[in-house]
Amino acid sequence: MEKKYKWMEYSLKQTAELGLEVLERAKRREVNWSVSCKHGRQMCQEQMSPEQDKPLDERECLEEAFSAMAKFMRHTTEQCE
């Protein structure tokens, strides 16, 4: 049982170190989300609703964003199982 806990502690330590490395790389990277994210706020605001000739409201943008996040989380969970 002791060996199992040592492996778990080692695994968590590695994960933490990798997480910090990713965070540091992300801090150094500059991203223009309005250009690279096809579901970004700017695009959503520019889309026109077929029923009304006005941009989609912020609530629809948020729903789209949360839907995309839920999809990515499901995919990640499936990969981890």
Q: Which pLDDT does position 15 carry in this prediction?
A: 94
pLDDT in tens, the chain (81 residues): 688 889 899 999 999 999 999 988 888 877 665 554 455 444 444 554 455 444 557 777 888 888 889 998 888 888 877
pLDDT at 21: 92
What pLDDT is recorded for position 20? 93
Nearest 5 degrees, angle CA 68-CA 51-CA 54?
A: 75
pLDDT for res 50: 52
Q: What is the pLDDT of residue 36?
A: 45
Predicted local distance difference test score (pLDDT) of residue 48: 46
Report the amino acid identity of residue 60: E
